[in-house]
Amino acid sequence: MPELPNQRTYFVVQCFLKYPSFAEARAKAPDEIAAHIQRSKELHAQGVILMAGAFLDKNDEPLSTMAIATSREVAENYVHGDPFYLNGMMESWTIREWANMFA
């Protein structure tokens, strides 16, 4: 993996899916999950997505995921190329600029 960039600003992507839980997404969309994970790992290996994953602590809310990107362009491409977005299973998404206080 490339060395992490030393920058102050990142872009946090949060995606809200149409599945009520991770378990339902696993049952109904295993191919999309596999493609999502593979693509995320490739972008991580390129050094443009630093972290990504699903939130697991809100069982009463639909499944949501997040990623930290190195630029707004990467963040937007991450959403628009995501299998859940492409298949119409992403309810909504946000991109927020985030300041890293440790850089």
Residue 80 has pLDDT above 90, yes or no: yes
Q: How far apart are CA 76 and CA 73, in angstroms?
A: 5
Which CATH architecture is the domain 9-98 placed in?
2-Layer Sandwich (3.30)
pLDDT confidence of residue 22? 86
Residue 77 three-state SS:
helix
pLDDT in tens, 26-39: 999 999 999 999 99
Residue 12 has pLDDT above 60, yes or no: yes
Query: How is the chain split into domains, by residue range?
Result: 9-98
Contact 8, 99 (CB under 8 A): yes
